[in-house]
Amino acid sequence: MGAARYNRQIILKGFGEEAQQKLLRAKVLVIGAGGLGCPALQYLAAAGIGHIGIIDDDAISLSNLHRQILFTTADIGKLKVEVAAKRLQEMNPQIGIIRHPIRLQKNNTLDILSRYDYILDGTDNFESRYLISDACALLNKPLIFAAVSGFEGQLAIFNVPDQLTPGTNYRDLFPVPPGKDEVPNCSENGIIGVLPGILGTMAAAETIKLIAKVGLPLTNRILNYNLLTQEQYTISITHGKGYVIPKTVDEFLNMDYQDTSEGPQGYIEIDAAELVKLQQSESTILIDVRERHEVPVLDKQIFTQVPMSEFGAFIGKEFYQKNVVLICQHGVRSVAAAEAMQEKYGDSKKIYSLKGGIIKWRDHFLKS
C-alpha cells in the first residue's frame, strides 16, 4: 500500500518495510503550526505518519510567511490549521490529518493529548510549554521538544526512558517558568526563518527515529544548536529534585499556567478603542516601553518613552496621572511592565496594558 511513495526510505538499509509500517500506525500530534510546526508537519506527512493531528488557533499573518512555509501570501487571514491540513493532505492523501483549531488550555489538554502516541511541541511561549510538558509527564507520552531563540535552538525528547534513566521531563531542566520580562520571544526579538526550519525538521527526524526505533534519539538529552557556528552541544539530562509537577488529573487542573485569560491580575488588558477613551482623560499617562531603536516611532508628545531597560529606575517616581497605559510592540513586555507597576503602586493607580501591542493596532497608531 503506497509502497512506491515510500520506496526510497523502505529500501534504505536500517529502515525498511517494518519501520515504514510503524510510521503508518503512529499517531502524532503537532502543537503549533508555526515556524517549527510547518517543516515538522511537512516531513512527518511526507514520511507517511498514519495519523497527524494539528493544534493551532491562530490565523496566518504576513509576518509569519518568512518561516511558516506551508502558507502562501493568498492564505493571509485564514486559519493555520485549515490551510496546513489541506496542503498536507494534497502532499499525501494516504494519511489522516486531524484538525484542532483551538488553543490548548488546562481543561482540554489531557483529553486531546491522550488520543495520540507522540506529541511534538512547536509552540512559542512558556505557558504552553509547561502545560504540554506536565500533561505529557502525567500521561506518560513521549514529548519531542523544539524551541528557538535568536540564532540558537534546543531539541530534546522527554518521558522516554533509556537503559540508564527513566524518562525525564522539562521541569528536570527548568523547574519553574521564567517571568514574562526575563526571556524575549520571537515577535519581540526577531527570528531568522531558516532556524525554526532546521529545528522543526530535526524534531520531525527525532519523531521518526523514535517511532521507527532507528538510531539514537535524543532521549534524556538536550541538544543546543547554533546557526551562526553550526555547532551542536548535547547535554545529558538526569532527574531533578524538589520541583512541583502534577501527579493526578486534579493536581493538573489546579496548576497555574499563567493563562493571561484566566490568571489573577490587578491590571487590565485593553484594546485600541479603550485606549482612545482613556487618552481623552487628562489623568492618563501613555507609556511606550519599547527600546529607543524600535520602530514605528510614536509621537513623543503623546507617548512617554520609558524602555524596559530603564523601567526599574522610572518605577517609584511620583507622577500625578491616575491611569497608566503601557504599550509595546506585541503586548508582552507591557504586561510585564503592568505587573511591576501594579506591585509598586497597588490600587493607587489604574494600570492598563494594550493587548496585542502596536502591531495589532497598527492602523490606529499610523493614523494618530
Partner 1 sequence: MEIEIISFGQITEFINNQKIEVDGITDTDAFSKYIENRFPALKNLKYKLALNKNIVQHNTEITNQATIAIMPPFSGG
Where does this chain bind partner 1 (CB under 8 A)? Answer: 32, 34-37, 122-126, 129, 146-150, 152-154, 172-174, 176-178, 182-186, 189, 191, 196, 222, 224, 226, 233-241
Q: What angle do CA 122, 128, 131 make, to 5 degrees?
A: 120
Distance separating alpha carbons of residues 335 and 260, to the nearest angstrom: 9
Nearer to partner 1, 69 or 212 (CB): 69
CB of 177 to partner 1, least distance (A): 8
CB of 157 to partner 1, least distance (A): 15
Nearby residues of 55 by Cβ (< 8 Å), 6 or more positions away: 29, 30, 31, 32, 33, 81, 100, 102, 104, 112
Nearby residues of 348 by Cβ (< 8 Å), 6 or more positions away: none
CB of 198 to partner 1, least distance (A): 13
Nearer to partner 1, 258 or 284 (CB): 258
What is the phi-psi region of residue 64: left when phi exceeds 0, alpha when psi lies from -120 to 50, beta otherwise? alpha
Nearer to partner 1, 226 or 305 (CB): 226
Distances in Å between the Cα of 46 and the Cα atoms of 22, 60, 72, 85 are: 14, 22, 19, 13
CB 245, CB 134: distance < 8 Å: yes
CB of 183 to partner 1, least distance (A): 6
Nearer to partner 1, 191 or 272 (CB): 191
Report phi then psi at 234, rounded to 5.
Answer: -105, 130
CB of 367 to partner 1, least distance (A): 31
CB of 66 to partner 1, least distance (A): 14
Nearer to partner 1, 29 or 286 (CB): 29
Query: Which residue, among 54, 216, 251, 219, has the nearest Cα to 142 in the 3D structure?
Result: 219
CB of 116 to partner 1, least distance (A): 19
CB of 207 to partner 1, least distance (A): 15
Nearer to partner 1, 93 or 178 (CB): 178
The string of DSSP letters for 215-280 reads S---BTEEEEEETTTTEEEEEE-----S-----SHHHHHT-----TTTS--SSEEE-HHHHHHHHH
Tell me which DSSP letter residue 283 carries. T
Cell of 50: 498514519
Nearer to partner 1, 176 or 249 (CB): 176
CB 37, CB 56: distance < 8 Å: yes
Nearer to partner 1, 113 or 148 (CB): 148
Cell of 207: 519523531
